[in-house]
Amino acid sequence: MKISLMLVVVMGLAGVNSFAQEYEIGQKNKEFTVKELTVRVGDKMTFTNQDPFSQHLQLVGKSVF
């Protein structure tokens, strides 16, 4: 019983990452290239700066990294 439950948990965790999406969000002319984005746990977001000056991102609310 313990072994089968452990297998189900491991398979479930492996399944979470198999559906993960990757998103690239650029910043150009002081605006993000993506206006709205819904992400799920496990998704990867990459922010790229396409302006000739430094940018700063600020997260508001609960975030886990």
pLDDT value for 17:
55
Task: Retrieve residue 34's tokens.
Answer: 């993506």
pLDDT, one tens digit per residue, over 20-42 is 999 999 999 989 899 999 999 99
pTM as predicted: 0.54
- What span, in angstroms and rounded, lies between the C-alpha atoms of 19 and 17? 5
Task: Retrieve residue 46's tokens.
Answer: 């990459």
First to last CA, the chain: 34
pLDDT, one tens digit per residue, over 6-24 is 444 444 555 555 689 999 9
Mean pLDDT of the chain: 76
pLDDT higher at 65 or 50: 50
Q: Quick check: 44 and 65 in contact, CB under 8 A?
A: no
